């Protein structure tokens, strides 16, 4: 069973969002990393870039496939996880921790209400199987 921690917001594109004040931290879910298989490459935007909700902000690649990454909410990138350049496997090993991808300054805090809770996301991935 995929790990779906409480206290995070989730998107149907399998990203998670952790909100602290007006800062959001973004990564992909355990379910997503498991479906992808061994992550060998992560392409992330630069600090300072701005995105609307649901914009593609990068891509994550396994040996077999490429998956686009979608930002669950609008924001400006304040920090990217540079360590994924050399150690992309952190996305597999610790998707909610060391495998985080971006920190963004949220443009509209209210957007998080459209995202799924842990329980809702769990139901959602259950419905995909």
- CB-nearer residue toward another protein: 66 or 119: 66
State the minimum distance, in angstroms, from the CB of residue 88 to another protein: 10
CB nearer another protein, residue 62 or residue 90? 62
Binding site for another protein (CB under 8 A): 37-38, 40-41, 43, 59, 61-64, 66, 85
Least separation in angstroms between residue 29's CB and another protein is 17
Residue 23: CB minimum distance to another protein, A? 27
DSSP letter string over the chain?
-----TT-EE-TTSEEEEEETTEEEEEE-HHHHHHH-SEEEEE---TT-EE-TT-EEEEEEESS-EEEEE-SS-EEEEEE-GGGTT-TTHHHH-TTTTT--EEEEES-GGGGGGSBPHHHHHHHHHHH-
Q: How far is the CB of 37 from another protein (least distance, A)?
A: 6
Using the minimum distance from each CB to another protein, give the nearer residue, 68 or 123: 68
């Amino acid at each position: 069973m995929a790990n779906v921690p409480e206290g995070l917001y989730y998107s149907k594109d399998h990203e998670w969002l952790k909100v602290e004040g007006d800062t959001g931290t973004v990564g992909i879910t355990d379910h997503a990393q498991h479906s992808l298989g061994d992550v060998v490459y992560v392409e992330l935007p630069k600090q300072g870039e701005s995105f609307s909700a649901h914009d593609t902000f990068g891509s994550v690649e396994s040996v077999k496939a490429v998956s686009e990454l979608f930002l669950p909410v609008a924001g400006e990138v304040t920090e990217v996880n540079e360590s994924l350049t050399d150690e992309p496997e952190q996305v597999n090993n610790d998707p909610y921790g060391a495998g985080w991808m971006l920190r963004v300054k949220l443009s509209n805090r209210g957007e998080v209400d459209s995202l799924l809770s842990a329980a809702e996301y769990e139901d959602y991935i259950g419905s995909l199987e």
